Homo-oligomer: A and B are copies of this chain.
Amino acid sequence: MEQLAIIKIGGQVIDQPEALDLFLKDFANIPGKKILVHGGGKLATTVAEAMGISQQMIDGRRITDAETLKVVTMVYAGYINKNLVAALQGKGCNAIGITGADVNAILAEKRVHPSVDFGFVGDIRSVNVDFFQSLLQAGLSIVMAPITHDQQGQLLNTNADTIAQELAKALSSQYEVDLIYCFEKAGVLRDVQDINSLIPTINPAGFEILKAQQIVSAGMLPKLENAFAAVHAGVKKVTIGNYAELQLLVQQRAGTTITHE
């Protein structure tokens, strides 16, 4: 099977123009098929504040009321997505920016929760594999905004990490998928104070040991659990590492790689 790199970035890099420029150069230089999934950045908060929209959080999750959905649609699907596409085009990477609504790329349903109304938050139901495949086979690099829809006319806000993961799982039927989460840290560290304590690879047995030794931090645990869920669902490997090292992450020469065996 052909290889496909799915790379997720968040606000840490989106909010730093110089770091973002270097990251996009690296992304443009990745040979072969690739998808960039982006989250938001500070602009969504800035715009919401300017418009007098207060952000509600429940259990660390942003509640997406109608006004907040308007802001994230503007910022994620408009400003960030199209600036990423234009920047990549400027670097010779033939990019197309999409949301889950375009060609029904990602169908979601409004989250139903027994006690919390998350508002216009979408849980993914299906990925239009044929559409992604047709874009990739046409030689296009896809820039994916974290906005989905319910195919009834309603846009929905969906977590970018989740989108990256669901795309990776769905596209593993057609490609050997390398899922890379870029953030501000070097990867999973044995000692969070020591950047030389990077753990290069973790397999399921190793994960059990790390958990038993309480080496994995509370913030890293859900990321790793999601990564193992992805590799169990067919994703070839998941790498977690620093956005400044994308070239090395792609070559599995940096970051922490989660594998099935």
Contacts and interface: CB of A to CB of B under 8 A. Distances in A.
Interface stretch (A78-86, A161-169, A178-186, A203-211): A78-86
Nearest to A130: B138
Given A47-B51, A77-B77, A95-B102, A138 B149 contact: no
A223 to B, nearest CB: 28
A68 interface: no
A81 B83 contact: no
A251 interface: no
Contacts of A140: 103
Interface residues of A, number: 41
Interface in A80-101: 81-83, 85-87, 89-91, 94-99, 101
| Chain B CB within 10 A, most for which of A76, A91, A97 | A97
Interface string A91-133: 1001111110111100000000000000000000000000000
Interface stretch (A57-65, A151-159, A253-261): A151-159
Contacts of A218: none
Nearest to A153: B90
A74 interface: yes
A70 interface: yes
**Residue of A78, A87, A104 most packed against chain B (CB within 10 A):** A78
Given A47-B47, A50-B52, A83-B155, A98 B101 contact: no
A134 interface: yes
A261 B140 CA distance: 42
Contact of A147 (B76, B82, B95, B134): B82
A74 B41 CA distance: 14
Contact of A151 (B81, B90, B151): B90
A75 interface: yes
A6 to B, nearest CB: 19
Which 5 A-B pairs have CB atoms at the shortest separation, nearest pair first?
A: A78-B78, A90-B153, A74-B74, A74-B78, A86-B101
10 contacts: A47-B74, A50-B51, A76-B78, A82-B147, A86-B101, A94-B103, A94-B104, A95-B101, A97-B101, A134-B138
